[in-house]
Amino acid sequence: MRSAKLVEPKKIVIYDNEPEPKPGVGQVAVRVKAVGICGTDIHVWHGERPDVSLPRVMGHEFSGVVEADSGKFKKGEKVVVDPVVSCGTCVSCKRGYPNLCSTVKCLGVQVEGAFCDLIVVPEEKVYRFPESLSFVQASMIEPYSIASEVMFRGGPVEGEKALVFGAGPIGLGILEGLKLRGLSVMVTDLVDSRLTKARELGADAVVNGKTENLAQAVNAFTEDFGLDFTVDAVGNPKIMESAIDMAAPGGRVVVLGFNPMPAQVPELSLVRKELKVMATRMNCNRFPEVLGWFEEKKVHPDAVLSAVYPLEDVNKAFEHIAQNPDNTLKVVVTL
Ligand SMILES: [Zn+2]
Ligand SMILES: [Zn+2]
């Protein structure tokens, strides 16, 4: 089978004669059909993730076809795979939080992923999807699971005023999730074309943080009350600081970036407004909810799709994003 490995930063080599993995008990072999490229993959591709050793087969946003009958699945069924790798036996796993497993990993990041013809995964991480969805669309279920996790953790309430920092694929997915919950949503980014996309996807207000005064815009948007719900989909300590500044009494702030730099947050700011600051990591069994969103056409994955490349051009697919970071949303590779 073919397997595309990152052998050094910015260099992926496709090997043609890799041995096909064989499923064991409780596992399924999936013939991969489409793999999305995530911001995480771009960081790995640039060699910016010290927790990733090379060579590495990247890819954690993928769809495919069941290769052979297994306990739960039949050959030929179309499936997506939750990429959270968990042990199933530690305290967090037993409590129902596989994304907080003591040895948690993500397919395609700390272990081999989906830029290959065949991948073997645990049955309980596999979900069927209907004929009405294409493989490319289904590959975008994983990024929307990040948005679903933000809803699950943050508990946004109908009628609240929200702000999303960042209008990339994750931020736009969060926007769609918040609109489904009935919030008024403002989106801020530094790139106008992304803000146009946010408008298309239902943003009630957009602000270019480079050319407009965000704090003033938030005051107008919330009639000086502040933001009930803020999500940092960029991952910057300065954003967390300003999110806390602009929060309403009883507001919630959700962060999901991997930035190691500290934010400066006085305890008083949190206490005065009784704020909740929380984080989300990957997703905690959110695939069923997102499958519902996709099946009922409640979200618009096609709107965030920028380009599709065949596996042979996987290097071009990564270069496409690296060369047009402002004007590229989701790029998907097909096999
Ligand atoms: Zn991702
Ligand atoms: Zn565990």
Domain boundaries, the chain: 3-139+300-334, 144-279
Total Cβ atoms within 10 A of residue 74 = 10
Question: 288 CA to middle of ligand 2, Å?
Answer: 21
For the domain covering 3-139+300-334, report its CATH number: 3.90.180.10
* 186/163 Cα distance (integer angstroms): 5
Residue 43 CA, ligand 1 centroid: distance in Å: 11
In angstroms, the first-to-last Cα distance of the chain is 11
pLDDT confidence band for 74 (50 / 70 / 90): very high
pLDDT tens-digit readout, 76-105: 999 999 999 999 999 999 999 999 999 999
User: Which ligand is the nearest neighbour of the Cα of 106?
Assistant: 1
**pLDDT at residue 195, as a whole number:** 98
Residue carrying structure tokens 């089978």: 1
> Does the domain formed by 144-279 have CATH 3.30.1490.190?
no
Cα(38) to ligand 1 centroid in Å equals 4
CA of 43 to the centre of ligand 2 (A): 26
Q: How far is the CA of 270 from the centre of ligand 1 (A)?
A: 30
Query: How far is ligand 1, taken at its centre, from the CA of residue 328, in Å?
Result: 15
pLDDT tens for 164-188 read 999 999 999 999 999 999 999 999 9
Closest ligand to C-alpha of residue 173 is 1
Cβ neighbour number for residue 95 with a 10 Å cutoff? 9
Whole-Å CA distances, 273 to 151, 216, 246, 264:
21, 19, 11, 17
Ligand lying closest to the C-alpha of residue 88:
2
pLDDT at 258 over 90: no
Which one of the ligands is nearest to 39 CA? 1
Model-level pTM?
0.97
* Euclidean distance between CA atoms 156 and 179, whole angstroms: 10
**Nearest ligand (C-alpha, residue 140):** 1
